[in-house]
Amino acid sequence: MALHVLISVIMMMMRWVATLGSMGVNWGTMATHQLAAHSIVDMLKDNGFQKVKLFDADDGILEALCGTDIEVMIAVPNYMLREMSLDPFAAISWVEANLSAYAYPGGVNIRYVAVGNEPFLKTYNNTYLHHTLPALNNIQEAINKAGLGSQIKATVPFNADIYNSPESNPVPSAGDFRAELRDLTVQIVQFLYSNDAPFVVNIYPFLSLYGNMYFPLDFAFFDGTNKPVRDGVRVYTNVFDANLDTLLWSLTKAGYPDMKIMVGEVGWPTDGDKNANTQNAKRFNQGLIQHALSGEGTPLRKGKIDVYLFSLIDEDTKSIDPGTFERHWGVLEFDGKPKYELDLSGSEENRGLVAVQGVRYMERRWCILSPHVKEMDQELPKNVDYACSMSDCTALGYGSSCNHLGIRGNASYAFNMYYQLKNQNEWDCDFFGLGMITEEDPSDNKCRFPIMIAYGNPILMLHKKLVNILLVLLEGCIVFLLLVS
């Protein structure tokens, strides 16, 4: 028995050492057509990702992660916080179903549970304010009762808006937790610290740029030449370090200067805004990786920075309330193809990421605006609006990759996105006679008209094609009978 415990401890330590100096990544699933979980796990291993952060506890994903050494953070979604805070037995049931069922030797290397996601975000209007700490406590107690307390720690990923520096003195050393949240936040910090759990924060330099037209562009990156910000003897050349040190000062003022910190989300989108493109995304993410793994740390705290990139793959059903860029954070396209070269080792080599393998697509055909339709057709605007309301047209927005297409191109893009979303059903390219199917790719060097991922096995796909053909023949027969009757 003692030997078994010793081996378990040694294996845990080896895993912990292996994940130091490695990049994590957020794996979201808010997409209409998702890639197979086992294929994504293979890709994670091929690229050397050793840590992954999930936004729920998906059985298919957890099963795919079984037997790997990838360190996993799974999540209790915000909508479950109230139940978890009020009912300890609900927390016990959740732990049994999602932790105990997978966190066995040779199973899933679960290390953290994210209790909620940015629950104190201003836009939530205090909805989760009084449920977060009780839920955190109940989940950790349930983890402890399951005998997993030394292995798995519960934490809360916070948005960086829970702390700030006053406008009169906007430097990190003046930072503190927001006054209306300070007492509750410090209670959570105390709980995390007593359980040896990290403080998790999401930092988005892109949003600093997006939300302030006067924000200096170069200060958002790690290689910028913008005038540095001085805070006493400390010098800041990028907003990421300044933001992280503002948190460190807030923790120091709360009495926890040595609190462990993880950056749970940080990244740069590739579309949906004038500053969201592959060039800026590569510049930021590569700079971030090199900075985080270099050991230079921030002006206030030296050492490697524990970071989870946001995100792995584009998600076409994410809410666009914050901005149309929300669906374009992935370092990979929706089909698992890398958007740009990214060296995850931080050694400044132009290494290409390995794509997800074995992805099958639907037939090479697109839905476009019929050339016989006039641009001023009164039916066109409402059909375009309908197509975009049901699919993802964020690439058509101001400053986005397909913003240059013009009226006809916009209509074709909208029609095609809807058509692909609906799995290329022929009747979904009708649009009251405005659309037509083509086998000629309408993409240009800036704007890609995608073909959707195919589901099912080849035989089923063939059956679907035959059914479509039979439906068209049946429609033709009906029309013929009506004409001759």
Active centre residues (catalytic): 118, 265
Q: Cβ-count burial of 205 within 10 angstroms (0-12 exposed, 13-18 middle, 19+ buried)?
A: buried
Q: Which positions ≥6 away from 290 have C-beta within 8 Å?
A: 222, 346, 348
Neighbours of 308 (CB within 10 A): 25
Chain Cα centroid distance, residue 19: 20
Structure tokens at 354: 């390995």
